[in-house]
Amino acid sequence: MSDSLTPDSAATPQPPPQAPPLRQPNRVRRLHDPEFRGFASDNYSGVLPEVMEALALANGGHQRAYGADVYTAALGDLVRQEFGELAEIYPVFNGTGANVVALDLLTQRWSSVVCARSAHINVDECGAPEKISGTKLLPVDTPDGKLTPELIDTVAWGFGDEHHAQPAVVSVTQSTELGTLYTPQELAAICEHAHGLGMWVHLDGARLPNAAAALDVPLRAVTTDVGVDVLSFGGTKNGLMGAEAVIVLNPEAVSRPLFVRKLDAQLSSKMRFVSVQLLALLTGQTWRRPASHANAMARELAEAVREVPGVQLTREPQSNAVFAVVPPAVTAALQERFPFYVWDEATDEVRWMCSFDTTSTDISRFVQALREELQRA
């Protein structure tokens, strides 16, 4: 047998291995019904069109990180126009972060903070202000969510006593968790009283645009002009995509805010995308239109349910929140159709929040569903 390869047995050239076919890029498909609405929170709503446009505008190319970009610089200039020449803004990720940073700026390890018992920092932040900033909260019972100089005095004492956490800050919320509003005069009285005690004033402004729109005043009229020292400025509840800010109105009240923000894990690397959202909200007082609309929808909802048998409004709406007492069985059934929260389990009080994208049609459908569930019950 010959050792040579015959033509039949000779290896024929093989084509090079083929690369796997290119896969089509994965695309996210819509998973929700854009027509679906609820009344649980203004956090449930989408993003303002102006903000989406601003985000696209800020995209592309490179910008310096950690707030050294042109959009953050422009935001700082605008904030000084809106809140006064001493104002400095520090964008952060979320509302809890804004409140923690703000209180951390104003307190020492032995400090305490006076707030309403219903305040977000006391009820809804999982102890973050106390855990992270290390301050003790001194909650005060209030009939309407609002502090007064007299209520502050019930817990602001023991100054100089080493056995007592030192009252250092009064924290107010505008609008309050109960949807009520402080007038400029009421805020000025609180600030004057707190400063007279040697304390600073923090304002939790998660819904500050709603309050200013309802009062028909500029933002500074319920912040800088009344003596607030540090402001947590809300964006997410007012149509932004995860953008909030700490605004220092009185530089003498704080020290090293850049370091405190970083220490509290609230420094954004690509800050231009946080800053440009706030820039879109503040430019030309864009905030006033969506806030006014949300407030108007709350008034419309209140009027619509006022005459519904079996429903009792517990407060006249002052901003974008409506509170009412509804039978528990009706609440449970209605929540399956429209998300909303029970505010007080003991009294069956519920809260309905309106947003910048709430419509009259949404309200009509909700009230119709409420009537149907009341009839079934």
Q: For the range 262-267, what are the long-range contacts, defined as Cβ-Cβ under 8 Å and sequence gap of 24 or more?
A: 263/104, 264/97, 264/100, 264/101, 264/104, 264/132, 264/133, 265/97, 266/92, 266/93, 266/97, 266/98, 266/100, 266/101, 267/66, 267/67
Q: How far apart are CA 25 and CA 233, in angstroms?
A: 39
Give residue 13's pLDDT.
Answer: 53
pLDDT band, residue 24 (cuts 50/70/90): low
Q: How far apart are CA 339 and CA 352, in angstroms?
A: 9
Q: Which domains does the chain have, with CATH numbers?
A: 49-285 (3.40.640.10), 288-376 (3.90.1150.10)
pLDDT band, residue 26 (cuts 50/70/90): confident
Q: For residue 66, what are its two tokens?
A: 């950690």
Q: Is it the case that residue 2 has pLDDT exceeding 70?
A: no
Q: What's the farthest any 2 CA atoms get from each other in the chain?
A: 115
The 10s digit of each residue's pLDDT in 116-145 is 999 999 999 999 999 999 999 999 999 999
- Check: CB of residue 311 under 8 Å from CB of residue 339: no
Answer whether the bond into residue 175 is a cis peptide, omega within 30°: yes
Give residue 20's pLDDT.
Answer: 60
The 10s digit of each residue's pLDDT in 227-284 is 999 999 999 999 999 999 999 999 999 999 999 999 999 999 999 999 999 999 999 9
**Kind of pairing between the strands at 200-205 and 166-173:** parallel
CA 24 to chain CA centroid, Å, is: 38
DSSP 266-282: ---TTTHHHHHHHHHHH
Give residue 371's pLDDT.
Answer: 98
Mean pLDDT for 63-84 is: 98
The 10s digit of each residue's pLDDT in 148-182 is 999 999 999 999 999 999 999 999 999 999 999 99
Q: Is it the case that residue 286 has pLDDT exceeding 50?
A: yes
Q: How far apart are CA 372 and CA 203, in angstroms?
A: 41
Q: Is it the case that residue 5 has pLDDT exceeding 80?
A: no
Mean pLDDT for 58-67 is: 98
DSSP 93-108: S-HHHHHHHHHHHH--
Mean pLDDT for 290-297 is: 98
DSSP assignment, residue 149?
H
Q: Is it the case that residue 300 has pLDDT exceeding 50?
A: yes
Give this prediction's pTM: 0.92
Q: How far apart are CA 7 and CA 20, in angstroms?
A: 32
Kindly report the average pLDDT of the chain as a whole number.
Answer: 94
β-bridge mates for residue 313, sequence order: 324
Q: Is it the case that residue 65 has pLDDT exceeding 70?
A: yes
